[in-house]
A and B are shown apart, each in its own frame.
Chain A
Amino acid sequence: MSNIKTSKGKLTFNKTDYVLQNFTNDSGESVSYVLVSDSQVHIGTDKGIILFDLSCTINKETFTDINLFTAALY
């Protein structure tokens, strides 16, 4: 299981650092993330929009709810 490590506005995944950034969604709104499904979320970063899902842990913690998972990223 892959782990996401969070730290002050950024996260590290697979040895790559991502700075969290807002992006403009399809409705023209500036958002930091968009839920894709019950288990997936699009996260805005300096390296594009990244898909994360519940198969990942966040700081070694496991999640079963995508809303709680997303909240833990920020």
Chain B
Amino acid sequence: MANKKISQLTAKGTALAATDLVEISESDGAGGYVTKSVTGANIKSGLQATLVSGTNIKTVNSTTLLGSGDLAVQATLVSATNIKTINSNTILGSGDLVIAGGMKVPAVSNTIGTTITGLTNAISDSFLLPANTFSSNCQIELQWYPSRIVGTTGTTQGLVYINSTNSLTGATLVATGINLTNSGVSNITCRRTIQVRSNVGTLMSTINQASSDFSVTQPTENLPFDNSVGIYFLFVMNNTTNVLLQSRNVGYRLVGYNL
């Protein structure tokens, strides 16, 4: 091998075997080199093993990373560039995004309530507003639909109470609907807006008869309305002066906004 260029040597023609010897110059650390040999096994032990997808190289969503070409990945999200904003606020980053506004509709019903017969004040229908549906500061709009179905004389009203249980005893009066005095069948849409500040509601006088609060009335300003606990809304029919009266509530809707 003396005086021969490496290109003049006989080619091995096969892959490096573990027992093959290769000449190397090992640094002595002082600027010189010492000629030594290493085996094919020595060389292979320092090389990375052949990559096998799923064995020593991970996959992406079960797709191999091996091979040529680009792996299609989503571009880095840049607020307002390739991901929209909400009211000019970025939605990138960690943590909770608090949506202060927005309408909630926790209760809508077209159910025909229990028919209330005779001189009484009784629950025709009800629903539970779950705890924490609204915050301690919110605005609520309530509609309900009292119906007088039998009776040629006397009056009937659709009232609304709230309570911690589905019971009238100890319930707080929220609204008194207008008198239904027509003989035969008659319906009315009633409406109230409740402004809740620090768990106390302000609304039109709860005892005054009215279909809606669009007209000028004195307010009620001490309605307890603690949304941290569940609140039952009770739709009550009050029949007066005619034992033959029959009435019922035939639907309701409650919408609200956290403020």
Q: A49-B172, A49-B207 are in contact. Are A37 and B164 (CB under 8 A)?
A: no
For A56, what are the chain B residues with a Cβ–Cβ distance below 8 Å?
A: 169-170
Q: Is A72 close to B, CB under 8 A?
A: no
B209 to A, closest residue via Cβ: A26
A25 near B121: Cβ-Cβ < 8 Å: no
B164 touches A14 (CB 8 A): yes
Determine which of B170, B208, B220, B223 lies in contact with A51 in the assembled complex, contact meaning CB atoms within 8 Å: B170
Number of B residues whose C-beta is below 8 Å from A?
23
**B173: min CB distance to chain A, Å:** 4
Bound-state Cα–Cα, A42 to B171, Å: 10
B258 CB to nearest chain A CB (Å)? 23
Contact B208 A26 (CB under 8 A): yes
A73 an interface residue at 8 Å Cβ cutoff? no
Structural contact, A48 and B169, CB atoms closer than 8 A = no
**Residues of chain A whose beta carbon lies under 8 Å from any beta carbon of chain B:** 2, 13-14, 23-26, 34, 36-38, 40, 42, 46-53, 55-56
Given contacts A14-B164, A50-B173, 10 further A-B contacts (CB under 8 A): A14-B170, A23-B207, A24-B218, A42-B173, A46-B222, A47-B172, A49-B172, A50-B170, A52-B169, A52-B170
27 A-B Cβ contacts within 8 A?
A: A2-B169, A14-B164, A14-B170, A23-B207, A24-B207, A24-B218, A26-B176, A37-B120, A40-B168, A46-B222, A47-B223, A47-B224, A48-B172, A48-B206, A48-B220, A48-B222, A49-B173, A49-B206, A49-B207, A50-B172, A51-B121, A51-B168, A51-B171, A51-B172, A51-B173, A55-B169, A56-B170
B residues in contact (CB < 8 Å) with A: 119-121, 161, 164, 168-173, 176, 205-209, 218, 220, 222-224, 238
